[in-house]
Amino acid sequence: MEWWKTIKRTPIQKIEKCVAQYRMDCLGTSELDFPYYNIKTYEDQNGRFRARTDACYRRKSDGSTVVFDVDNMETEEDAVKQLLSIMLEFGKDPSFDEYELEFLPHYRF
């Protein structure tokens, strides 16, 4: 089951395995007004976890984006919890009204 961790990485820089995908439905309950979003978690060959979501916020004034992604977590659970925490903190920011929800097509799962 862990054979992929032993693959020689030359000329490959990094191998990650998608270990889980979650769909979070939040209609009417989210501080961020996401109707739903997906979270994928990945494990690298060193046993570290990363989580990212397909939702982002784009600033209306200049088009810059906030993408939610966490890296180098010890466990998959930590990665998901940290990602959700970052997203909720962003929703409490006073400048939150300057942003609009967008789903990144290349992140769509």
pLDDT at 78: 93
pLDDT at 105: 61
**What are the extents of the domains in the chain?**
3-104
pLDDT at 31: 64
The model's pTM:
0.76
User: Between 5 and 76, whose confidence is greater?
Assistant: 76
* Residue 8 DSSP label: -
User: Which phi and psi angles does 81 have, rounded to 5°?
Assistant: -65, -40
Ramachandran category for residue 49: left, alpha or beta (phi over 0 → left; psi -120 to 50 → alpha) = beta
Tell me which amino acid residue 25 is. Answer: D
pLDDT at 28: 62
Q: How confident is the model at residue 30 (pLDDT cuts 50, 70, 90)?
A: low
